Amino acid sequence: NSGKPSIHFFGHTHGYSRGQSKNHNHLMINVASAGGNLDYWGEYSNNDYDEYTISQDEYGYVLVEIDAGDDPKFTLKRFSLGDENIFKNNSLEDEITIRLINNSPEKPIGIFPTGTNINPDCVTFLGNSFYDQDEDEHGATHWQISADCNDFSSPIFDEWKQFENWYYEINTQENDNLIDQEVNLLQENTNYCWRVRYRDKGLAWSEWSDPVTFETGASNLSENLLENPEAENGINSWTVES
């Protein structure tokens, strides 16, 4: 309600995780673990949440540096001590700065698809290059597709991707330039409308792009010519012989 940057810290899971709310410049920080047993990857059930961009099964601590004055901001840093097998000497593993005064990125432009007779089978949506007057880097992109340009309240496609996603020791977002997105759920001979918005690494969102309309043509995919109802409907009627 205040409109100010915010942050909350929590524990329970014995490892470090940092995420950010999609619709507010709010950070969610799992500060663990300073001691005890670590929750190593695969030891328990794991879930790759859209909001979280870095998770580590290491000992460590979090430091927050706060600057007041005319340009208030805070910087969060994660320092690691490694784990039971690999020692790290206060290694800086994560850092993010959130400013109260942060100009939004430039409103993006939807480039493709537009027009008619778009192949619906696998469409690569494309926006223009990211620009931010504060020289912040591209932090995330949010894509939406609707059947109505005047109503995106229930989009048929709603996807946001962040610039990094460290999960199971792998950055699953590596090499994603955040200005294109493959979509393979479109119907043939159908009218659609889409839009996109960009976020900087300080968590400020741009305005949504102006909606872009397009119409799909006929699909190039053939019907399933190898149907086997007895197999595709289950194996209850099968007789197994050894």
Quote the strand ranges of 83-129, DSSP E: 87-99, 110-112, 115-118, 123-127
Mean pLDDT of the chain: 92
Distances (CA, A) of 128 to 107, 155, 198: 10, 22, 10
Q: For residue 77, what is the enclosing H or E element?
A: strand 73-82
pLDDT at residue 1, as a whole number: 78
Full-model pTM = 0.88
How many Å apart are CA 17 and CA 7, to the nearest integer?
13
pLDDT digits (tens, 9 = 90+) for 34-87: 888 999 999 988 899 999 999 999 999 999 999 999 999 999 999 999 999 999
Residue 45 corresponds to which tokens in the numbers above?
Answer: 């059930």
**Closest CA relative to residue 31, chosen from 61, 65, 75, 58:** 61
pLDDT (average), residues 136-153: 97
Plot region of 27 (φ>0 → left; ψ -120 to 50 → alpha; else → beta): beta
Model confidence at 142: pLDDT above 90: yes
* Helix, strand, coil percentages for the chain (3-state, nearest 5): 0, 45, 55
How many Å apart are CA 217 and CA 121, to the nearest integer?
10
How many Å apart are CA 242 and CA 224, to the nearest integer?
31
pLDDT digits (tens, 9 = 90+) for 190-228: 999 999 999 999 999 999 999 999 999 999 876 665 666
How many Å apart are CA 19 and CA 94, to the nearest integer?
11
Task: Work out the pLDDT band at 13, boundaries 50, 70, 90.
Answer: confident
Q: pLDDT higher for 161 or 36?
A: 161
Task: Work out the pLDDT band at 239, boundaries 50, 70, 90.
Answer: confident
How many Å apart are CA 134 and CA 29, to the nearest integer?
25
Model confidence at 232: pLDDT above 70: no
